[in-house]
């Protein structure tokens, strides 16, 4: 019996996936559990394994193509086994010729069109039935309903003028572009592109699409407010230097960010009202601190999680951050390594940014934005002296954290960083 290969949800937040490459070609033998393809999710590149065995009879989404979760992207069947028509058009993308090169018939290439139209018989307009109805694949009809597209208004590009998935997607993209243009103010004098202007349009990756969607979801519904504290880092840096002398004996080294992660995690155990999720009808407070650490990657941002950060030493935190960050940049993180954080930290201090505000990662209720550590003249012990200072801004979800609660948490964090021995008390 034929096995349909579906685009699986390979991450908890995945809505669609992009086929990076197929590891099997049409008519290659496939064993159950064998890796079929590499799929780029919204977070990482994952392996898609076969749920059946036989021959890879059809590839419906070519390398470079995308498909929503649940869509059939390939079919596995025994040699000579008759398989039902695919739900949509033939493959598109860099490997669009793969199925045709394997010798599939025109009826197979139409992939679900039923009987092929005879192009030599001009009985009616292309893409319409004898009754005047638009001919469209089941998937394109479903997508059109979901996305609010009038399928009757579309010009089909499939076999015989049939409306297929790509026609619906093109209509959605065109509508989005038009809405964006309508929302823009009138052009500024001189803003129009010159005929010889050089530019490049960069396609969105799955990660960039997800980052954009999550930011809109956060800044829109989540009522942010911000608290900033200025911290004297002199003793924290001295303590870090001493710790690194010890860690260096085993090849370890703790960064300033590792120190902040540890201090913030311990502070959150004293202020569980900030270590919480907004649940719609309830607030979930956590006893353990799972710290999300924002990591910049070439096409976006991902937040690996240091679990039980409050209970780990600087050496363990440092090694874990380095390992997770390296795998994040290689797109090799597993879902459990970037989900389940209870609070987050974003640090741009290494870029010389003095102060900024972070965007909360729902359902979390807070995030720390860490600025640069720098020497500044300040009043100290009755004199103006140079001290090493750092600003941290906390973004709070006002549905979960009140101003006084956030302020008390920052006061505790400040006390830990200004006197690191206090963490041990």
Residues known to be catalytic: 398
Q: Which two tokens stand for residue 139?
A: 């998937």
For the residues of 233-248, what is the DSSP string, one character each? Answer: -HHHHHHHHHHHHHHG
Burial annotation 115-134 (CB, 10 A radius, 16+ → b, else e): eebeeeeeeeeebbeeeeeb
Name the one residue in this structure whose structure tokens are 């710290």. Answer: 291
Q: Is 47 left (phi over 0), alpha (psi -120 to 50) or beta?
A: beta
Taking CB atoms within 8 Å and a gap of at least 24, the contacts of 167-170 are 167/140, 168/140, 168/143, 168/144, 169/143
Q: Which two tokens stand for residue 31?
A: 């064993």
Q: How far apart are CA 200 and CA 202, in angstroms?
A: 6
3-class SS at 375? strand
Burial of 408 (0-12, 13-18, 19+ CB in 10 A): middle
Q: Alpha helices, DSSP H only, in 57-164? A: 98-101, 106-110, 138-147
Where are the strands (E) in 317-373, listed by range?
343-347, 366-370
Name the one residue in this structure whose structure tokens are 């679900």. Answer: 112
Secondary structure element (H or E) that encloses residue 226, with its range = strand 224-232
205 within 8 A of 41, measured Cβ to Cβ:
no
């Amino acid at each position: 019996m034929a096995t349909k290969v579906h685009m699986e949800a390979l991450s908890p937040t995945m809505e669609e996936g992009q086929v990076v490459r197929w590891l099997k070609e049409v008519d290659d033998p496939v064993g159950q559990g064998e890796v079929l393809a590499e799929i780029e999710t919204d977070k990482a590149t994952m392996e898609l394994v076969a749920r059946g065995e036989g021959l890879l009879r059809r590839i419906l989404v070519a390398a470079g193509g995308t498909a929503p979760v649940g869509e059939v992207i390939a079919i596995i069947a025994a040699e000579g086994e008759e398989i039902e028509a695919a739900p949509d058009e033939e493959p598109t993308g860099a490997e669009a010729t793969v199925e045709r090169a394997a010798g599939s018939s025109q009826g197979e290439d139409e992939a679900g069109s039923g009987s092929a139209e005879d192009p030599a018989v001009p009985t009616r307009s292309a893409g319409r039935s004898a009754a005047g109805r638009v001919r469209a694949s089941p998937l394109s009809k479903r997508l059109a309903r979901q996305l609010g597209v009038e399928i009757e208004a579309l010009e089909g590009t499939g076999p015989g003028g049939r409306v297929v998935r790509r026609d619906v997607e093109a209509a959605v993209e065109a509508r989005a572009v038009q809405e964006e243009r309508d929302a823009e103010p009138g052009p500024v004098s001189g803003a129009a592109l010159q005929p010889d202007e050089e530019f490049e349009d960069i396609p969105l990756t799955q990660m960039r699409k997800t980052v954009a969607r999550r930011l809109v979801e956060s800044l829109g519904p989540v009522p942010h407010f911000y608290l900033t504290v200025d911290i004297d880092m002199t003793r924290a840096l001295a303590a870090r230097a001493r710790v690194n002398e010890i860690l260096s004996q085993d090849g370890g080294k703790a960064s300033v960010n590792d120190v902040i992660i540890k201090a913030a995690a311990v502070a959150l155990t004293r202020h569980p009202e900030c270590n919480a999720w907004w649940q719609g009808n309830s607030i979930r407070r956590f006893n353990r601190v799972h710290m999300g650490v924002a990591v910049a990657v070439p096409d976006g941002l991902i937040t690996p999680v240091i679990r039980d950060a409050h209970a780990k030493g600087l050496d363990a935190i440092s090694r874990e951050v380095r390992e997770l960050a390296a795998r994040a940049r290689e797109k090799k993180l597993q879902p459990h390594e970037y989900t389940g954080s209870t609070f987050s930290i974003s640090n741009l201090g290494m870029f010389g940014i003095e102060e900024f505000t972070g965007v909360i990662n729902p359902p979390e209720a807070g995030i720390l934005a860490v600025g640069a550590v720098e020497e500044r003249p300040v009043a100290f012990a009755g004199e103006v002296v140079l001290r090493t200072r750092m600003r941290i801004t906390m973004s709070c979800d006002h549905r979960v954290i009140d101003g006084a609660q956030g302020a008390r948490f920052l006061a505790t964090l400040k006390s830990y960083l200004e006197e690191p021995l206090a963490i041990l008390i």
